[in-house]
């Protein structure tokens, strides 16, 4: 097993080479693969092939002009799934926040290519306790030209409950001559496209019949727990849900992230066992 990191694209995507079981993890809206690194490395140590690509247009700084659409994001995610299928005969998809919504769309649209879904802090609508009520006014905006006039800056606590980790990220952003508010900001065009993605996926949640693990914080500052409950109620397959008590939104980075990793490892291992048993029964 070779767990060396490979940069799979010029923007800094992560890939860990392993066996024939592959796990595709997708970052959040305006985020980057590094927010999934801890989870990816832990899964890779179990011998799985893990890929955390950059989704152009959905990642910070990859759509300066605001021209990309959610269909472009999905096409990129679909290409990453196709690439993983070339070397892995069992593939699971997952993600953080908006990335988990994209993963659910992959499962709905490509049921024969996906065996399971890992959903971390899913967001159907930014409605956590740190989101200002004025954000609801943006719901009236449906034209791209108008949406691009808006810029949504990140607000404290930036999805991280662990104060030491939060301060580290703030200092790291200052070292790069950028404020953390600007570094993780999202333009209105991106937010509008995400809203359209959610509308598309919500209609298809019943088509996701794969085993799904949902992990969501009780005190999520950006995505209320009812986002996860809505998804759980609408999925068409078996669901395992975990509500975390000591996290904010960034569950793959925040304190006790090892709980997310341990439950993900357990979920994947059990699912792989079921897949292998099914294939053994169907073998000639």
| Per-residue pLDDT tens digits for 97-120 | 999 999 999 999 999 999 999 999
Flag whether pLDDT at 21 surpasses 70: yes
d(CA 133, CA 47): 45
> Please, which residues have CB within 8 angstroms of residue 251's CB and are 6 or more apart in sequence?
96, 120, 121, 215, 216, 217, 244, 257, 260
Q: State the average pLDDT over residues 204-222.
A: 96
pLDDT of 75 over the 80 cut: yes
186 pLDDT more than 90: no
Distance CA 59, CA 184 (A): 10
Tokens 């960034």 sit on residue: 250
- 163: tokens are 């104060």
**pLDDT at residue 100, rounded to an integer:** 98
Cα 94 from Cα 1, distance rounded (Å): 22
Q: What is the pLDDT of residue 175?
A: 59
pLDDT in tens, 125-165: 999 999 888 888 888 888 888 888 888 877 788 888 988 88
Closest CA to 50 of 114, 105, 101, 6: 6
Instruction: List, for residues 52-64, the tens digit of each pLDDT value.
Output: 999 998 987 666 6
Burial of 281 (0-12, 13-18, 19+ CB in 10 A): exposed
């Amino acid at each position: 097993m070779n767990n060396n990191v490979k940069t799979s694209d010029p923007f800094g995507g992560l890939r860990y080479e392993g066996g024939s079981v592959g796990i595709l993890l997708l970052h959040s809206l305006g985020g980057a693969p590094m927010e999934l690194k801890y989870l990816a490395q832990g899964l890779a140590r179990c011998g799985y092939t893990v890929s955390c690509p950059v989704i152009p247009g959905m990642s910070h700084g990859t759509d300066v002009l605001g021209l990309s659409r959610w269909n472009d994001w999905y096409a990129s995610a679909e290409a990453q799934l196709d690439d993983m299928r070339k070397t892995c005969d069992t593939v699971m998809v997952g993600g953080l926040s908006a990335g988990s919504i994209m993963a659910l769309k992959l499962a709905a649209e490509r049921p024969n290519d996906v065996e399971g879904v890992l959903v971390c802090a899913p967001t159907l609508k930014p409605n956590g306790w740190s989101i200002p009520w004025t954000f609801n006014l943006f719901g009236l905006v449906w034209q791209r030209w108008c949406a691009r006039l808006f810029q949504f800056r990140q607000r404290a606590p930036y999805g991280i409950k662990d104060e030491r980790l939060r301060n580290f990220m703030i200092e790291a952003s200052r070292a790069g001559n950028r404020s953390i508010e600007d570094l993780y900001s999202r333009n209105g065009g991106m937010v509008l496209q995400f809203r359209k993605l959610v509308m598309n996926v919500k209609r298809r949640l019943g088509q996701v019949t794969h085993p799904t693990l949902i992990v969501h914080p009780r005190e999520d500052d950006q995505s209320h727990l009812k986002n996860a409950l809505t998804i759980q109620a609408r999925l068409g397959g078996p669901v395992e849900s975990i509500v975390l008590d000591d996290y904010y939104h960034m569950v793959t980075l925040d304190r006790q992230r090892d709980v997310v990793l341990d439950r993900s490892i357990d979920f994947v291992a059990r699912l792989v066992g079921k897949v292998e048993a099914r294939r053994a029964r169907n073998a000639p």
